[in-house]
Structure 1
Amino acid sequence: MDWLRRLLSGRLVLGALSIGLVLLAYALVTSRADNNPALLPPIPDIIGSFFTNLGAGTLLDALGASLYRIFLGFFIGTTCAVIIGCLVGWYKTVEYLVDPLIEAIRPIPPLAYIPIIIIWFGIEEFSRVLLITIACFMVCVVNVIAGMKNVPQVYVDAASTMGATRFQVFRTVAVPAATPFIITGYRIALAAAWTTLVAAELIAAPSGLGFMLQEGRRYFLTDQVMMIIVIIGACAFIMDRSFRAIQKRLMVWSETRD
């Protein structure tokens, strides 16, 4: 029975069990005679909405549009965050110049920028990508700065003793040592991108998962709303697990627990 105990203690099995219990509880609630399917649609209705929209092509179009905005905003935002965060966390002059600005802007929620973005840039695609970019940058840059600040001094002293310049220490020691913080910043930025996506697609988006959510709300298609929520959660989960796999591969030297 040892093999069975090891199987049941696995992360995959336990994770599937937790999801299965939630689905079972939802199925039991929606199967009650007093349940209103217009407010709480049964699972078969949600699955039916998925295949209906998939067959019509609207779901794939919406998913493609949303993923494009997510990837573009995430790439621009995190790239800027890594560059600026590494410089701020390592060079005092850059820190004194830029850090007050970051700390002043960071508490502002990304959604607060929607009115000014519309005024400045209109309701085109650029505005939606810009909002996601801002959200990704703000949460990622803090982690990058923290990672650069937490580089063990013994690493810096060892490299300096062997004749490395300040820039060489920055490039070959500090940035690799801060990689766990940087990847964590990526994961948090990815979550911020998805949470900002729906709001970004409220800016007169002609397509996207957020657009389908609004369409479902407008026409009281609760099954479609639930289906889109599940898809967003599944996409975010898959992307986050991908980053965790990358982090595990890059951080084989780390003593942190999986």
Structure 2
Amino acid sequence: MKALPLSAGALPAVASTTVRRVRSVRGVAVAFWWVLSIGCFAGLWEAAWAVGWADPLLLPPPHIFLAHFSDQAQAFSSSDVIGEVSTDSAYLALLTTIVASSLRVIAGLALGFTCSVGMGLLIRYFKPFGNITLPTITLLAPISPIAWLPVAIFIFGIGNPPAIFMVFISLFFVMTLSTISQIDAVSRTYLNVGAIMGASRRQLFLHVIIPAILPSLFMTLRMNLFGAWMVVLVAEATGVGSGLGQIVMLARNTFNSSLSFFTMTLIGLVGFLFDVALRQIQNRVLFWVPPSAVGRL
């Protein structure tokens, strides 16, 4: 029996099905390696406890600090006063604490990304402005974000602003210098081709330079995401309000190692979810970049 050729309309459907199948297989493979990696780490930890190498009071294995989830959640409070007992349910207080830290990170990253990219563009396209500001930015860039904590408290006092400012600072200088570097690295060939085709300076900026620098800027943002979580936890530990950093300090002050590792697990999980969300945004925004180049889990 002679096979009938596929119609032109069927070809896109077949290609779409194939792409979805490949992505599904790839997703399963990635999930497998993630589970295997974390399982091996937890298994080694459990083995160290089983043979007596790890003191359960100092280094409790995962089955200990994760088994009593409801008990650990009792330590969380929606109050801004560390150690104060909340009248809310333990799970609601836990969720409130996670959301408080997450919103500070999101606000700081959004402000830092917007202001730093804008600053980098101004420095490169307005020479007098760049001559005045770039030396100062280069001088301040090596300073650790943690060193800015007293300044943040002096200026903003106690509350959300100093924590958001810390996240902002952790990204601003690095992203500004990265923006300048990426603008300088745009291929002259792209600009020449655009000029030959009659593109105006505005069109070159919007349709050549911005698409050329965005992939690297997103990578810089992702690289600084985890640093943002580090500095917001330090800021919260100083008493800016309810947050995961505050719980870490409570665990330290009460020498509660189980609570400490439980909170560290939450921080790692939330940070991982942030990275997944940022990758999805990256894939949507950089629609012209192949998925393999954008990166995958």
Structure 2 equivalent of residue 3 of structure 1:
none
Distance 1:7 1:132 in 2: 34
SS at match of 2:240: coil
Is residue 36 from structure 1 mapped to residue 55 from structure 2 by the alignment? yes
**Post-superposition shift, 1:33?**
4.1
Structure 1 equivalent of residue 41 of structure 2:
22
1:60 corresponds, among 95, 102, 113, to 95
Structure 2 equivalent of residue 85 of structure 1:
120
The CA deviation string for residues 74-119 of structure 1, in whole angstroms up to 9 with x for no partner, is 1111111121123334554443232212111100111111122222
**Post-superposition shift, 1:71?**
0.9
Q: 1:196 to 1:91 in 2, by over 3 A?
A: same
**Post-superposition shift, 1:126?**
1.3
- Normalised to the residue count of structure 2, the TM-score between the two structures is 0.77
Distance 2:185 2:129 in 1: 17
Structure 1 equivalent of residue 144 of structure 2:
109
SS at match of 2:57: coil
* Preserved contact between residue 108 and residue 164 of structure 2 (Cα < 8 Å): yes
Distance 2:117 2:263 in 1: 32
Distance 2:62 2:246 in 1: 22
Aligned length: 253
* Preserved contact between residue 162 and residue 240 of structure 2 (Cα < 8 Å): no
1:12 corresponds, among 3, 8, 31, to 31
Q: 1:24 to 1:126 in 2, by over 3 A?
A: same
**Post-superposition shift, 1:189?**
2.6
Query: For structure 2, which runs of at least 5 residues remain unmatched after alignment?
Result: 1-24, 74-88
Q: 1:171 to 1:97 in 2, by over 3 A?
A: farther
Structure 1 equivalent of residue 293 of structure 2:
256
Structure 1 equivalent of residue 270 of structure 2:
235
Q: 1:73 to 1:9 in 2, by over 3 A?
A: closer
The CA deviation string for residues 158-208 of structure 1, in whole angstroms up to 9 with x for no partner, is 112222222321122101111111111221231221111111112323310
Q: 1:44 to 1:9 in 2, by over 3 A?
A: closer
**Aligned residue type for 2:106:** F
* Preserved contact between residue 53 and residue 59 of structure 1 (Cα < 8 Å): no
* Preserved contact between residue 212 and residue 228 of structure 1 (Cα < 8 Å): yes
Q: 1:81 to 1:257 in 2, by over 3 A?
A: closer
* Preserved contact between residue 110 and residue 135 of structure 1 (Cα < 8 Å): yes
Structure 2 equivalent of residue 202 of structure 1:
237
Distance 1:252 1:211 in 2: 42
Q: How does 1:174-189 map to 2 (within 5 A)?
A: 174-189=209-224
* Preserved contact between residue 49 and residue 224 of structure 1 (Cα < 8 Å): no
Distance 1:42 1:256 in 2: 38
**Aligned residue type for 2:220:** G
* Preserved contact between residue 140 and residue 188 of structure 1 (Cα < 8 Å): no
Q: 1:239 to 1:47 in 2, by over 3 A?
A: same
Structure 1 equivalent of residue 80 of structure 2:
none
Q: What is the RMSD computed on CA atoms of the aligned residues?
A: 2.4
Distance 1:185 1:200 in 2: 22
**Post-superposition shift, 1:44?**
2.4
**Post-superposition shift, 1:68?**
1.4
* Preserved contact between residue 282 and residue 294 of structure 2 (Cα < 8 Å): no
The higher relative CO (CA closer than 8 Å, separation ≥ 6) is in 1
**Aligned residue type for 1:56:** A
Distance 1:177 1:147 in 2: 8
